[in-house]
Structure 1
């Protein structure tokens, strides 16, 4: 029985807590949050232990932990957890800087712990199905992938802008679907309702011949989460929310058969499976670092009004 904890009991943290509490082979051994009333209420609800100091929870004997705290805290909390002997799932983005991402990755290697980054859309059944379709060759060579992730601003997001908060999802998905890293990025963005950027269009070059385009904003009054993959043999239209994939070619329009499931549940089950079976997780810390580098380069690009090369 794996003893698992959750650090951070905000909106996303509560979902981690709920799913772990229902998971076979897992004991939800503790919840940590600086809000004493909140964490005690949740601990009572899920019959577990409450901590206002996450280090005390780590010291109680935790095998694995989800880290669901503000991005600027990721390095400190993740390295503390790893050094305490816990495997770590850290929510995206992996960190606020590349140096801090490296610190997390290095700590995991040094201590023999797994680090996984919570790029949840990789575990969306529609993305899983589209990856299978692309790898089957049904669409032929993929030459362009574009995404649209727009909707109203969420006031709880205060420490980063729209690129690091939601743009990083599609930056990672596009790289994942191509199976290639981003080489160059050019972005146009601005800040109209937020202290950081609240709208952005990000154009990426992958493997020097493939195109990725990400549109994000906190200005659209309704939520849209869609992706289009263009291949020489057809086009795929994916809806992240409805978990659907529709294929169009010269002769047919077809809908892929997809069994709908909560992406976060898929993600946490996979994380636990990696621990139990000694598998390196995918997305790894390195994958998370790449998505972060591209996101930070996009921010630099719009501020400097120039194309940015991504160097590994």
Structure 2
């Protein structure tokens, strides 16, 4: 992810890429004319105002704490740390230092989800009943240190709580190990949010079909976001009753109009970087992910793994 952040920082007004660090060198050739520094201390010594941490999850805490101690505003790629306990230490360090600390959940910046959240807030669905997500596709070669829950499901947990504007209250889950790796590669998770909305997440990286879909169902209909294409569709509850009795008997609500909205589609990573910039400048947006939110998401993710391992429902 570091190579993508480097590109976007260079292209974002109000930001300038002045230093990069990677002990493994610059294998993606993103440094340009900048020297490739060996570690976070060298990065800090370059006199930076802000940093993006895109290192393996196991190193998030160490690098982020060093940046907090040096007074550097920081966005840490998701998840915030390798454990919720470590994430809480990171969040506390930035809060105590009065610094901006953010977490890189880029799905919040997807045009379909941004439009979905706004329409939910505007009352397009009325009362929200349920949120379901499906995130499936082939195995990503970049992953080595975590399973599908901490790598992919963490996106769904974050965006669900954000869309509903409510934290998780309970979770249950099942996982499967089918690829021969140490970590799980499939998960089915269900839960309930503090505001009563029920949720479910289907996540794996063993499917030949890539799917990124979020469905929010409420009293007025359903909103369906395809985050692969950035499309948002509204399926309204209908008012016309069916005359076919055998079909009507199996329907809860009538099918109404379906509308696919025309959205302005900007690169989510660019929007995320602008949100980070604006938060540093004192203008935070609802799509910016705070470290406190990042800790909650990781707490839920750990609860999902515990629920699956012990066969229980975990109360948060």
Structure 2 length as normaliser, TM-score?
0.90
1:24: how far off?
Answer: 2.0
Q: Distance in 1 between matches of 2:78 and 2:215?
A: 23
What is residue 241 of structure 1 aligned with on the other side?
228
Deviations 1:7-27 (A, max 9, x none): xxxxx1110000111122222
What residue is the counterpart of 2:201 in the other structure?
214
The Cα shift of 1:109 comes to 1.7
Q: What are the equivalent positions in structure 2 for 1:72-83 lying under 5 Å apart?
A: 72-83=58-69
8 Å CA contact 2:12, 2:270 repeated in 1? no
**Alpha-carbon distance in 2 for matches of 1:188, 1:37:** 39
Cα contact 1:161–1:196 (8 A) shared by 2: yes
Matches within 5 A, 1:78-157: 78-157=64-143
- The answer to whether the 8 Å contact 2:77/2:104 transfers is yes
Q: Is 2:8 aligned against 1:19? A: yes
Which structure 2 residues correspond to residues 30-45 of structure 1 after superposition, within 5 A? 30-38=19-27, 41-44=29-32
Q: Superposition RMSD on alpha carbons, in Å?
A: 1.4
In structure 1, the partner of 2:152 is 166
CA contact (8 A) 1:125 1:243 kept: yes
Relative to structure 1, the CA distance from residue 132 to residue 208 in structure 2 (aligned partners, 3 Å threshold; closer, same or farther) is closer
Contact 2:14 2:277 in 1 (8 A): no
- Determine helix, strand or coil for the equivalent of 1:192: coil
C-alpha separation between the residues in 2 aligned to 1:24 and 1:72?
A: 32
Deviation at 1:208, TM superposition (A): 5.7
SS in 1 for 2:210: strand
Alignment counterpart, residue 262 of structure 1, candidates 252, 259, 267? 267
Greater strand share, 1 or 2?
A: 1
Instruction: Tell me if structure 2 keeps the 8 A contact 1:301–1:307.
Output: yes
Q: Distance in 2 between matches of 1:42 and 1:211?
A: 43
Q: Distance in 1 between matches of 2:234 and 2:226?
A: 12
> How far is 1:278 from its partner?
6.0
Matched-pair contact (CA < 8 Å) for 1:175–1:181: yes
The 3-state SS of whatever aligns with 1:252 is: strand
Deviation (angstroms), 1:112: 1.6
- Supply the distance in 1 between the matched residues of 2:206 and 2:26 (Cα, whole angstroms): 33
Match of 2:215 among 223, 228, 231: 228
CA distance in 1, matches of 2:16, 2:104: 20
Unaligned 5+ segments in structure 2 are 239-255
> 1:228, 1:236 within 8 Å by CA — same for their partners in 2?
yes
Q: In structure 2, how many angstroms separate the alpha carbons of the residues matched to 1:33 and 1:60?
A: 14
What's the CA shift string for 1:205-262, capped at 9, x where partnerless? Answer: 1126211111000110121101111111101111001111111111311112210011
Q: 1:42: Cα distance to partner?
A: 2.6
Greater radius of gyration (CA): 2
Say how many residue pairs are matched. Answer: 296
Matched with 1:184 is 170
Q: 2:131 touches 2:214 (CA, 8 Å); kept in 1?
A: yes
- Out of 29, 36, 61, the residue aligned to residue 18 of structure 2 is 29
Q: 1:212 to 1:248 in 2, by over 3 A?
A: same
TM-score, normalised on structure 1? 0.92
- Structure 1 position 74, deviation (Å): 0.6
Question: 1:68 aligned to 2:54?
Answer: yes
Q: 1:198 aligns to what?
A: 185
Please give the alpha-carbon distance, in whole angstroms, between the structure 1 residues aligned to 2:149 and 2:93: 27
